[in-house]
Chain A
Amino acid sequence: MSTSTRSYLDHAASSPMVPAVAAAMGEVLLLAGNPNSLHQSGRSARRVLAEARESLAADLGAQPDEIVFTSGGTEANNLALLGAPRQGRPLVAISAIEHPSVAEFTARCDAVRVLPVAGDGQLQPGALSELGTDVALVSVMWVNNETGAIQPLGEVVAAAHAVGAWAHSDAVQAFGHLPVNFAESGLDLLSVSAHKLGGPVGVGALVVRRGVKLTPVGFGGGQEAKLRSGTVPVALAHGFAVAARLAVSQRDSEAARLAGLKARLAAGLDQIDRSRLNSAAKSSPAILNATFSGTRADDLLLLLDAAGIDASTGSACTAGLHQPSEVLLAMGRSASDARASLRFSFGWSTTQADIDRLLAVLPGAVAQARKA
């Protein structure tokens, strides 16, 4: 059975663009000029870029000159980890459930300390107590991309600063859904992305606290405070700012609405035998992760796909081959359960009808996948 209208429950992978954002970008896309050029066309582009930077900064609780536009969350995370100097402080501490754009730093640097998480996906109490003055940077994500677990950022920042280290957070899944205020967070570095909140793919930002000096990772024309060379895509930055403004202005009502949908889904999943929620009590309203023991997640995805529902495992694929979720393994789940888990993630376009459609299909799909 294939259907023309689909239920898209994979906003954490990429949220569909809000039509108003596409419209706003359309005008800017036709604008001539490089924002670094001195002529009139360049000035016009620069003005749009400056306004986008100011608007985004305001929505992030940051200063405009703290915003470094990047190609997305991955580049922002890479810049934070690779750019943080480690003279005299060789170590970097990251949580056990980071996105690959942070976690894979272990492949570049053997001085990484991994902070364990508890069974609910939250950083283990006491995980931060062993940080020493040999730590340069502590990186803990704000909201986990697979389970939605909200991490104790206040404790992370306090622990990092207590030993003189910088604190970085990947807030890609938080911004737009939860209150994110850079100044109030005390963070030194913060990563955000546009396409997780209804903006365009291809743009993100690293927020760099004034006084924090990173080493550039690449070289070129010295754009973005000499940290990230390359012509800034003005239309994408503009789209990011417009989408962020929309998301932040509707954040509280949307969060409440999505929390209602999530609760409805959780109640429905509770009726499925041998299912288990992996999303902590303290988690994003936009993400629900659950294990359906005795299934293969990719079989469930096939059955849901055929029923018009787009969902995800949330974890990395190698050539489309489903791997057990590293996040769920870090939370102490068995390999077979980590292979039997799905992520449902919501956003501005998600309706109760989508949840009800999922709940109508899922019990049968789970039963069938258990036999396959």
Chain B
Amino acid sequence: MRVLAAMSGGVDSAVAAARLVDAGHEVTGVHLALARNPELFRSGSRGCCSLADTNDARRAADVLGIPFYVWDFSEQFADDVVADFVAEYAAGRTPNPCLRCNEKIKFAALLERGIGLGFDAVATGHYARLQRHGDSVSLYRAAEQAKDQSYVLGVLSAAQLGRCEFPLGEVTAKAELRAEAAERGLLVADKPDSHDICFIPTGDTAGFLNDRLGQRTGDIVDENGDVLGAHLGHHQFTVGQRHGLHLSVPAGDGRPRYVVGVDPVANTVTVGPKGSLAVRTIRGIRPTWTEQPIAGSWRGLVQVRAHGEPMPATIEAADGTVTVVLDTPAFGIAPGQAAVCYDGERVVGAATIEATNS
């Protein structure tokens, strides 16, 4: 098989490519240039868009003896991921840019270009498992739950998954993977894992959004509408957030207060007790399915964060929406996040959270 291995410059994608070479595939490495003005060096462990990462990826490809190219997806990334990220916050929602990148860039623009050039599949270092049966394929959680990344792949369609390879799905411990990398002579064996959002290497999401959306003073109110304080822009707040509120009026009961709502039109942030964050029903839009589209009602598990717990629920899909009723209320679920549905370990599909109800 001719496989295009997406190489970020990290240890995971390097070992993924190496394993495919071992398996006898014809592997070509490709690094995605996503930043318009890449920084020379990583700051800390963050980021996947620095020139140092490009060089790490190239060096790994050279060690493996495979061709290596850098493909420029910076324009698509700016439009489909970064602009969407900013627009979602501006609309009072909490987006997941990694999911969006997988959906629009890695397993769309990159995959299509690779297929066009005669490749059979795209491989990444994601921790997830694929099980093929005949012409179809199912997506499962990784063997190592702590590293499982099936959530950020939950938006992929059957057609996309059919062209994927995830060689790290059976890895049971990251330490073993690092040892394997060292054994293979890959210099990234000890490179720290990347965290946070790659296009915000400082980790300062609020500052990043301020630069793009500006600061606009608004009220922080309680659930009765009484003003408790001021903020500099609703986009700096996410439902479930507890810190950074700087309220001038103490809570009557002395208990912590959380952001329970963000109103982008009125530019108000509503705070309340933890109890007000309890969510029982989730309404999702733009559903995607990893296999056949599903209609009707079924019992399953729902996960709403990359490292969140799977929650038992009754799920119903109809007319382009998905309604999730959780068995036990959950806290701090924000519109914009993705609800990924599982059947046991198997990923069924995903939807963007539009609204929640207690």
Instruction: Scan A310-342; emit 1 where CB is below 8 A from any B CB, else 0.
Output: 000000000111100000000000000000000
Chain A residues near B67 (CB, 8 Å)? 302, 305-306
Q: Are A302 and B38 within 8 A (Cβ)? A: no
The complex places the Cα of A319 from the Cα of B59 at a distance, in Å, of 12
Q: Are A299 and B54 within 8 A (Cβ)? A: no
| Chain A residue nearest in CB terms to B54 | A319
Q: Are A320 and B31 within 8 A (Cβ)? A: yes
Selected from A299, A319, A321, the residue in CB contact (under 8 A) with B117 is A299
Q: Are B113 and A319 within 8 A (Cβ)? A: no
| Chain A residue nearest in CB terms to B51 | A319
Q: Does B308 contact A (CB under 8 A)?
A: no
Main secondary structure of the interface of B (DSSP, over half): mixed
Q: Which of B15-23, B69-77, B87-95, B280-288 contacts A (4 or more CB under 8 A)?
A: B69-77
- How far apart are A294's CB and chain B's nearest CB, in angstroms? 12
Q: Are B117 and A320 within 8 A (Cβ)? A: no
Indicate whether A299 sits within 8 Å of B113 (C-beta atoms), given known contacts A320-B70, A321-B33.
yes
Chain A residues 316 to 372 lying within 8 A of chain B, measured CB to CB, are 319-322, 368-369, 371-372
Chain B residues near A320 (CB, 8 Å)? 31, 54, 58, 68-70
Q: Does B118 contact A (CB under 8 A)?
A: yes
The complex places the Cα of A372 from the Cα of B118 at a distance, in Å, of 9
Q: Does A303 contact B (CB under 8 A)?
A: yes
Indicate whether A322 sits within 8 Å of B72 (C-beta atoms), given known contacts A302-B28, A302-B67.
yes
Selected from A319, A368, A372, the residue in CB contact (under 8 A) with B38 is A319
Q: Are A302 and B69 within 8 A (Cβ)? A: yes
Instruction: Scan B15-54; emit 1 where CB is below 8 A from any A CB, else 0.
Output: 0000000000010100101000010000000000001001
Chain A residues near B112 (CB, 8 Å)? 372
Chain B residues 103 to 122 lying within 8 A of chain A, measured CB to CB, are 112-118
- How far apart are A364's CB and chain B's nearest CB, in angstroms? 10
Q: Are A369 and B70 within 8 A (Cβ)? A: no
Q: Are B117 and A302 within 8 A (Cβ)? A: yes
The complex places the Cα of A156 from the Cα of B38 at a distance, in Å, of 39
The complex places the Cα of A224 from the Cα of B69 at a distance, in Å, of 41
- How far apart are B91's CB and chain A's nearest CB, in angstroms? 33
Selected from B55, B72, B118, the residue in CB contact (under 8 A) with A321 is B72
Most A CB atoms within 10 A — which of B55, B67, B68?
B67
The complex places the Cα of A286 from the Cα of B116 at a distance, in Å, of 32
- How far apart are B13's CB and chain A's nearest CB, in angstroms? 16
Q: Are B55 and A319 within 8 A (Cβ)? A: yes
The complex places the Cα of A322 from the Cα of B118 at a distance, in Å, of 21
Q: Are B117 and A368 within 8 A (Cβ)? A: yes
Chain A residues near B115 (CB, 8 Å)? 372
Chain A residues near B118 (CB, 8 Å)? 303, 368
The complex places the Cα of A367 from the Cα of B67 at a distance, in Å, of 21
| Chain B residue nearest in CB terms to A2 | B26
| Chain A residue nearest in CB terms to B55 | A319
Chain B residues near A369 (CB, 8 Å)? 116-117
The complex places the Cα of A321 from the Cα of B115 at a distance, in Å, of 20
Main secondary structure of the interface of A (DSSP, over half): helix
| Chain A residue nearest in CB terms to B2 | A306
Q: Are B51 and A368 within 8 A (Cβ)? A: no
- How far apart are B76's CB and chain A's nearest CB, in angstroms? 13
Q: Are A319 and B33 within 8 A (Cβ)? A: yes
Chain B residues near A319 (CB, 8 Å)? 33, 38, 51, 54-55, 70
Q: Does A10 contact B (CB under 8 A)?
A: no
The complex places the Cα of A301 from the Cα of B70 at a distance, in Å, of 12
The complex places the Cα of A368 from the Cα of B58 at a distance, in Å, of 25
Q: Does A298 contact B (CB under 8 A)?
A: yes
Most A CB atoms within 10 A — which of B26, B68, B71?
B71
Chain B residues near A302 (CB, 8 Å)? 28, 67, 69, 117
The complex places the Cα of A210 from the Cα of B307 at a distance, in Å, of 73
- How far apart are A174's CB and chain B's nearest CB, in angstroms? 31
Most A CB atoms within 10 A — which of B38, B113, B117, B118?
B117
| Chain A residue nearest in CB terms to B117 | A372
- How far apart are A312's CB and chain B's nearest CB, in angstroms? 13
- How far apart are B34's CB and chain A's nearest CB, in angstroms? 11
Chain A residues near B58 (CB, 8 Å)? 320
- How far apart are A311's CB and chain B's nearest CB, in angstroms? 14
The complex places the Cα of A303 from the Cα of B58 at a distance, in Å, of 18
Chain B residues near A299 (CB, 8 Å)? 113, 116-117
- How far apart are A319's CB and chain B's nearest CB, in angstroms? 5
Q: Are A372 and B54 within 8 A (Cβ)? A: no
Chain A residues 16 to 34 lying within 8 A of chain B, measured CB to CB, are none
| Chain B residue nearest in CB terms to A371 | B116
| Chain B residue nearest in CB terms to A317 | B70
- How far apart are B75's CB and chain A's nearest CB, in angstroms? 12
Q: Are A372 and B31 within 8 A (Cβ)? A: no
Chain A residues near B71 (CB, 8 Å)? 298
The complex places the Cα of A306 from the Cα of B28 at a distance, in Å, of 10
| Chain B residue nearest in CB terms to A301 | B69
Chain B residues near A305 (CB, 8 Å)? 67
The complex places the Cα of A80 from the Cα of B117 at a distance, in Å, of 44
- How far apart are B297's CB and chain A's nearest CB, in angstroms? 42
Q: Are A298 and B117 within 8 A (Cβ)? A: no
- How far apart are B84's CB and chain A's nearest CB, in angstroms? 23
| Chain A residue nearest in CB terms to B116 | A372
- How far apart are A71's CB and chain B's nearest CB, in angstroms? 23
The complex places the Cα of A372 from the Cα of B114 at a distance, in Å, of 7
Chain A residues near B28 (CB, 8 Å)? 302, 306
The complex places the Cα of A25 from the Cα of B166 at a distance, in Å, of 50
The complex places the Cα of A14 from the Cα of B351 at a distance, in Å, of 53
Q: Are B113 and A372 within 8 A (Cβ)? A: yes
Instruction: Scan B116-130; emit 1 where CB is below 8 A from any A CB, else 0.
Output: 111000000000000
Q: Are A368 and B116 within 8 A (Cβ)? A: yes
- How far apart are A82's CB and chain B's nearest CB, in angstroms? 25
- How far apart are B74's CB and chain A's nearest CB, in angstroms? 9
Most B CB atoms within 10 A — which of A2, A302, A303?
A302
Chain B residues near A298 (CB, 8 Å)? 69, 71
Extra contacts, 10 of them, besides A303-B117, A369-B116, A372-B113 (Cβ < 8 A), are A299-B117, A301-B69, A320-B31, A320-B58, A322-B70, A322-B72, A368-B117, A371-B116, A372-B116, A372-B117
CB-defined A-B contacts under 8 Å, sample of 21:
A2-B26, A299-B116, A299-B117, A301-B69, A302-B69, A303-B117, A306-B28, A319-B33, A319-B51, A320-B31, A320-B54, A320-B58, A320-B68, A320-B69, A320-B70, A321-B70, A322-B72, A369-B116, A372-B112, A372-B113, A372-B114
The 4 closest A-B pairs by CB, nearest first: A372-B116, A320-B70, A319-B54, A372-B117
